[in-house]
Structure 1
């Protein structure tokens, strides 16, 4: 009962209670989109006019083997962004791999061309074939267009259609993510150089200064136990180490570009941030999370969580887990953090019935009810290559295999449009 009452109180706060930082929204307070840069105040994200805002969006993977945004062999950038806009979404979590930046440095500051990127990822024959399809759908590009130029074009189109860009460092080595044995799990893992990571964050934060829609950046997707290196796991996989590196990453981003919000992800595949929001020790040390440790940009920090409890039996259980894992920061309490929290990944099979189950239907009401932002996994109907399989079909994709239509029109019409509307209302 206590949990139920607490959740009701939280929902009530999200729906009706005025924040001391929530000004009256009249025409005089509005400015040209995107009206940034954004800042945080308590549990809210505010635009440059002091108006509350949040994200209702999707993930557009761009971090895998080719290291460019997926789907361009099937549709133009404009067409894909139009699909996002058509259901009212206002944000895209655009992922990238540190390897892309590493190769730019290795090449003396010159990025890899599409011709090279597709050949390296798919093999010479298939690389030529798929690149030809990309160029046919996106004739602005050529074989010598670089990967970052494709990112630039995507960001420009998102801005044109007034959709925020959240840039996310998803992985170090460009590949499908994630497992605890993929070499990308934790600082010091096979492919996860801390120095290259901070360099990559700085480079991308600086590069994205030219993107009008660039509003936020995630430091690292799903930190997790590096079980392939037992010594690293034993000595380093803990909250104390997490805090050290999150502060380094946040400083790298803010020093390169002071404008974007900075998202901090939790442990165990970003499924919990409990000691951060509850103000308990970041073990094995005794120090605690403090906004005061982020000097000069404490009002730029947002917490992010992922959740894939698809088989959960009740909505109340799921809500309780989400509260304990981090969403309680939206209301705080004695000794606890008060910060914005967003769910940057959740997802499920896109068919005719899964969206009607406990997990999907609960999130469709819970997240808008507490005014928490979100980006659903995943937009992609297919991948250039995933785990060695080329033209891999994504059953969780909002879009179908050739990115031409919604994979589950019943979900879009029966729940998703309303979830977007309720989140942004």
Structure 2
């Protein structure tokens, strides 16, 4: 395929990738993310969820923040996608103060279980106490990531804190049951200001997996389109950039963020609206993010072709049809972490393709278990890199023969 071969040649000719992080912001140059010295930066990492009912980064009842971040470093990864819910910021505005982690856990898990999990968390993380708030835990994660040389990509996963995602969960689209756009903007302005003191936080995902709000057919029929996407996403980017111009701004697409197809070519989004990066004050901060869970893929060529048409063509520097040459990061993909799945078509194709084009990536998911997921407490995550207690790898074979070679190919 011409695109793939062309980008491979570009990658081979590119300057060496940085192995550590600095306090200086990142920016973009064409299809690359670059640091302040002009070195190309490719993200290679994992998702660390924190947007469910407890509104805390998962796993701290089992291990310390330092230990978990150390496991990322053991893989050679350089980024974590840390998710949060707008509800956490809404609580701050409504009460005038952040909620303590003990209160949040009790609300999510009940008095008995919430208290027990809290006690386990402070046992593993002794700097925490009954007065520690949820946002202070996020700060501790970001600080430890910076100390160990891990970038933090802060992602707004949902508005109402819960497991994501479906088209009927009320979090799907602008104006959906729980997706108050004013609160979303407010939440991001708050976080953009807050992370100024956290030098490891380099980028943000403005909204995870936008999708049709099928619980409100009138809303879906009237507004689920690219023109509405443009209005809301660009406005949010403008507001974040005005507060904190250092942050990279990741734009997610439609259909659970599986496509951004009209963006690279600056195609008509409706009513004559087009997305052109040169129109924006934040033109050197734009990154495209795409998700893919095409686990049923039967060939690499078909998977790669679909990725190109869904937005990876933004990496193509020699195609005259591409108006917006931009970095592209696959911020979610994943599969069962056992001894065989990583050898199947889908994982092996992505293992080869994403490093070959130096597209960043963050696998779903680091988590071995959740405080609560879909009503089940201490839910086991079979797609987790880590085992249930977050201590060891769930599948050493998948790590040694799947993940580590992919990291090395991406960052080598």
| Common topology (TM > 0.5) | yes
| Alpha carbons 2:156, 2:207 under 8 Å: kept | yes
Decide whether the 8 Å contact of 1:40 with 1:340 is kept in 2.
yes
TM-score (norm 1): 0.94
Q: CA separation in 2, counterparts of 1:379 and 1:123?
A: 25
Partner of 1:292: 278
How many angstroms apart in 2 are the aligned matches of 1:125 and 1:306? 37
Give the match for residue 46 of structure 1. Answer: 34
Return the alpha-carbon distance in structure 2 between the equivalents of residues 265 and 323 of structure 1: 15
Instruction: State whether residues 351 and 408 of structure 1, in contact with CA within 8 Å, keep that contact through their aligned partners in structure 2.
Output: yes
Deviations, residues 180-235 of structure 1 (Å, cap 9, x unaligned): 00000000000001100000011111111111211101100000000100000000
Asked if structure 1 preserves the Cα contact closer than 8 Å seen for 2:21 and 2:146, the reply is: no
1:7 CA drift (Å): 2.2
2:22 matched residue in structure 1: 34
Give ranges in structure 1 of 5+ residues lacking alignment.
none
The alignment partner of 1:168 has SS state of strand
Listed as ranges, the matches of 1:216-235 within 5 Å are 216-235=203-222
Q: Distance in 2 between matches of 1:5 and 1:326?
A: 16
Quote how far apart the aligned CAs of 1:278 are: 2.0
User: 1:13 deviation in Å?
Assistant: 2.2
1:17 alignment counterpart: 13
Q: How many residues align?
A: 410
Pick aligned residue for 1:356 from 343, 357, 377: 343
Is 1:61 aligned with 2:49?
yes
**In structure 2, how many angstroms separate the alpha carbons of the residues matched to 1:41 and 1:237?**
31
Write the distance in 2 (CA, Å) between the matches of 1:181 and 1:31. 42
| 2:314 and 2:325 in contact (8 A); partners too | yes
Matches of 2:144 and 2:343, distance apart in 1: 33
- Report the equivalent of 2:246: 259
1:334 positional shift: 1.9
CA distance in 2, matches of 1:53, 1:358: 27
| Shift in Å, 1:31 | 11
Match of residue 83, structure 2, among 95, 103, 119: 95
Point out 4+ residue stretches in structure 1 off by more than 4 angstroms. Answer: none
CA drift of 1:54 comes to 1.1
For residues 302 and 222 of structure 1, what CA distance do their matches in structure 2 show? 15
SS of 2:262's partner is helix
Q: Give runs of aligned pairs for residues 114-193 of structure 1, distance below 5 A.
A: 114-193=101-180
- Structure 2 gap segments, 5+ residues each: none
Residues 208-266 of structure 1 deviation map (CA, whole Å, 9 limit, x = unaligned): 11112111011000000001000000000000000001111101211111111010000
C-alpha deviation, 1:326, in angstroms: 0.6
Contact 1:35 1:48 (C-alpha < 8 Å) held by counterparts: no
Q: Find out whether 1:345 has 2:350 as its counterpart.
A: no
332-341 or 186-195, which deviates more: 332-341
CA distances 1:114-142 after superposition (whole Å, capped 9, x unpaired):
12100110011111111111111111111
Shift of the alpha carbon at 1:34? 1.6
Work out whether 1:279 is the aligned partner of 2:276. no
The equivalences for 1:373-392 within 5 A come to: 373-392=360-379
Distance 2:115 2:19 in 1: 46
* CA RMSD, 1 decimal: 1.4
Give the aligned partner of residue 310 of structure 1.
Answer: 295
| Separation of aligned partners in 1, 2:20 and 2:148 | 13
Aligned equivalents of 1:339 and 1:417: distance in 2?
A: 26
Q: Could you tell me how far apart the structure 2 residues matched to 1:9 and 1:340 are?
A: 15
Q: TM-score with structure 2 length normalisation? A: 0.97
1: distance between equivalents of 2:136 and 2:261? 39
